[in-house]
């Protein structure tokens, strides 16, 4: 076989390999998107073992503010419940839920409720200051690991209520679409 023919055969084989790899990656991507949709649907029906401990009295939720100073959400000094919006910067559901959270923050009756936005992220990603700056409420740029354990903060996005006595009340899990958004909006605008 001549060198010219050998080069053409090698080029053809390389192109075939590139095309096969692109097809395989495309198929894998489609499968992963489908799997993520399935997991998001299952998230709404998550086991109670991965949700905040509803009905239990918990210690103050602690962490660090956007300026790096320690912050603690106390309960005994204020008679208003706190709605805590828990997110992670790398969470697609959180990014999709953020506009709805901003809407809820604008409609919240601050005379009756406090709002807090708490970031959890095991990978130590940097806080998203532009998102945090866009909402009015207590901002926890990083939740203390002990508090994350106490409150069972494993899933994002989630919203939960802490009553003035420190008891965890209601919770909402997922992107807050449809009836879940309406229920939370009604809860904070009373």
Q: Compute mean pLDDT per 10 residues along the chain, 190 residues long, and list them.
A: 61 80 88 72 57 80 87 82 86 84 87 88 52 70 86 84 87 80 82
- Per-residue confidence (pLDDT) for residue 146, from 0 to 100: 87
CATH architecture observed for domain 48-188: 3-Layer(aba) Sandwich (3.40)
Domain positions in the chain are 1-43, 48-188
| Beta strand residue intervals within 20-113, DSSP E | 61-64, 70-73, 82-87
For residue 142, the cross-strand partners are 64
- Per-residue confidence (pLDDT) for residue 47, from 0 to 100: 57
Smallest CA-to-CA distance from 157 within 129, 176, 177, 134 is with 176
* 82-87 and 114-119 strand pairing: parallel
Give whole-number Cα distances, 170 to 6, 12, 55, 81, 173, in Å: 70, 61, 9, 11, 10
- Per-residue confidence (pLDDT) for residue 38, from 0 to 100: 66
Structure tokens at 176: 């807050």
- Per-residue confidence (pLDDT) for residue 108, from 0 to 100: 87
- CA dihedral angle for residue 122, residue 41, residue 81, residue 153, rounded to 10 degrees: -20
- Per-residue confidence (pLDDT) for residue 23, from 0 to 100: 92
- Per-residue confidence (pLDDT) for residue 73, from 0 to 100: 84
pTM for the complete prediction? 0.70
- Order of strands across the sheet with 70-73? 70-73, 61-64, 142-143
- Order of strands across the sheet with 168-173? 138-140, 114-119, 82-87, 158-162, 168-173
The residues, any chain, with a CB within 8 Å of residue 116's CB and separated by 6 or more, are 61, 73, 82, 83, 84, 85, 137, 138, 139, 140
């Amino acid at each position: 076989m001549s060198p010219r023919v050998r080069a053409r055969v090698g080029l053809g084989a390389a192109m075939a390999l590139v095309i096969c790899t692109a097809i395989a990656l495309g198929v894998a991507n489609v499968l992963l998107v489908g799997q993520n949709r399935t997991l998001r649907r299952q998230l709404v029906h998550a086991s109670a073992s991965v949700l905040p401990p509803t009905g239990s009295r918990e210690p103050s939720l602690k962490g660090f503010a956007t300026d790096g100073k320690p912050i603690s959400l106390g309960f005994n000094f204020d008679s208003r419940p706190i709605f805590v919006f828990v997110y992670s910067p790398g969470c697609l559901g959180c990014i999709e839920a953020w506009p709805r959270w901003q809407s809820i923050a604008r409609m919240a009756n601050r005379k009756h409720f406090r709002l807090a936005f708490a970031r959890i992220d095991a990978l130590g990603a940097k806080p998203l200051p532009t998102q945090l700056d866009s909402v009015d409420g207590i901002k926890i740029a990083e939740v203390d690991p002990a508090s994350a354990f106490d409150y069972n903060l494993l899933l994002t996005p989630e919203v939960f209520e802490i009553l003035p006595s420190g008891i965890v009340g209601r919770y909402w899990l997922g992107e807050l679409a449809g009836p879940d958004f309406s229920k939370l909006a009604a809860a904070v605008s009373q």
